[in-house]
Amino acid sequence: MFKDLDPILHSQLRLAVISLLIGVKEAEFTFLKEKTNATAGNLSVQIQKLKDAGYIDVIKKFKDNYPQTICKITTKGIKAFEEYVKNLQGYLGKNK
């Protein structure tokens, strides 16, 4: 019996953001935008969804008079990602 994949993570852009954040301590919005090749608007919406789910922390600051958004994965986000990968491995094993 396989568990359903987390719908918050099982979408391309949100999964890309979480996968980037899992390997780093913190990352700026510009870094996430560059690595995912997403539009700023779309990325903002998906970051907000991850934040609402409690998977990431979003810190807004100012740097050289420009707004700066820093994202960090939370403990809940790490657990959700690990669970997602575990379930994914289950699905892939079943499909072999």
Partner 1 sequence: MQQKELTEQESLKLITEMIGKTQSHFHESGASTILWGTVISFCALVSFAQSFWNFSIGFDIWILTLVAVAPQIWIGIKEGRSRVVKTYQDSHIDTIWTVYVISIFAMLVYANVVAYTSVKLLAGDGLEIFSKNISTGEIKPYRIFPPSFSSVMMVLYAFPTLATGLITKYKPLIAGAFICYTCFVVSLFTSFTYDMLLSAIATICCWLIPGLMLRNKYLKQKKEKDV
Binding site for partner 1 (CB under 8 A): 5, 10-16, 19-20, 22-28, 30-31, 34-38, 42, 46, 63-64, 85, 88, 91-92, 95
Q: Shortest distance, CB of residue 3 to partner 1, whole angstroms?
A: 13
The CB-of-54 to partner 1 minimum distance in angstroms stands at 20
Residue owning tokens 């575990």: 86
Measured from the CB atom, is 10 or 76 closer to partner 1?
Answer: 10
Residue 36 contacts residue 20 (beta carbons within 8 Å): yes
Residue type, 76: K
Q: Please state, in angstroms and rounded to a whole number, the distance separating the CA atoms of residues 3 and 27.
A: 31
